[in-house]
Amino acid sequence: MNDISVFFDGVCKKYPHFSLDNIGLELATGSIMGFIGANGAGKSTTLRILMGLVHQDSGTVRVLGHSMPEEQTAAKLDIGFVSEDLRLYGPATLEWHMNFLRPIFPRWDQPYADGLAHRFDLNPQQKIKGLSHGQRVKAALLLALARRPRLLVLDEPTTGLDPVARVEVLEELMSVLADEDRTILFSSHNTLDVEQISDQITFIDRGKIIDSDNKEAFLDRWRRLRLVLPPDGVVPRLPGFVQVGGSGRLPVVTTNRFEPAMVSACNEMGATVQAVDTMTLEEIFVANVHSRRERGAA
């Protein structure tokens, strides 16, 4: 049993107008990683390298113990991949797709597939081209799940889904994890979904990993401190300082290394702490990206 399902080290890929720079990732078996980035940040390219669909220029990629892209044939039997373009064949029905995949994947689970079709409210006899976007996403997910893959790689699985479908999809993803040997990596720009179900969170921006940690640690160490400064007071340089907002004597300082002692330290330095705000993953992501971009520009 390999404890790490996905491992990236020093992975680079250069395109004329975009490059992935020194990507490192580690995803433990049995957990979910949410991969967050703005549009064009490099999420899909990273997932395609993971699948062996795009070859890295340099660096190591190991997936379920297989070296990629060299051993992609063996690896792909155990990976369920749902890409943004879904790759379904329009003129055929969902049932046709199931019949096509069944003989290829030894662990194909037909009762589970039938159950999923029922829970997702999909008609197997309906042609793919007649399905709505949400139904197509659910059909693609069904085809990936019914293979019972050890690793699920999902590119934006909840984008464009209505609230009911989103909950259905999240529910199925969580139930996959009942089996401790199975792992999920999904990309999203919906931070709410990621915040809810991920164990591990990775931020990517402009082709670089800008932060990666377990979710609880992430949410614990980011705080906004609302301060009241004395006249002529200066904003204390807090450890893990990310950015300062607010106005002159009422600054709002964001830190990514919060600890409770910070409050008493500020108070002793004359900066009264009015409130310590927790931050949502979305706020953390945006603050993180802005501060990195500003620093990059400076």
Interface contacts to another protein, rule CB under 8 A: 30-32, 167, 170-171, 174-175, 177-178, 180, 196-200, 214-216, 219, 274-275, 278
Q: Phi/psi of residue 34, each to 5°?
A: -100, 130
> Minimum distance from CB of 174 to another protein (Å)?
5
CA angle at residue 32 from 27 to 33, to 5 degrees? 60
Q: The sheet that has 272-278: what strands, in order across it?
A: 241-247, 250-255, 223-228, 272-278
Q: What stretches of 122-242 show up as alpha helix (H) in DSSP?
A: 133-145, 163-176, 191-197, 215-221
The number of residues making up the chain comes to 298
Q: Which of 32/82 has CB closer to another protein?
A: 32
Closer to another protein by CB, 74 or 164: give it.
164
The smaller minimum CB distance to another protein, of residues 171 and 259, is found at 171
Our CB check for another protein shows the closer of 32 and 139 to be: 32
Number of helices and strands in the chain (H, E):
10, 14
Of 224, 210, 212, the residue nearest 280 (C-alpha): 224
Q: Which is nearer to another protein, 30 or 233 (CB)?
A: 30
Shortest separation between residue 173's beta carbon and another protein, angstroms: 9
Residue 72: its H or E element: helix 72-76
Q: How far is the CB of 93 from another protein (least distance, A)?
A: 30
Instruction: Find the shortest distance in angstroms from Cβ 245 to another protein.
Output: 19
At closest approach, how far in Å is the CB of 105 from another protein?
24
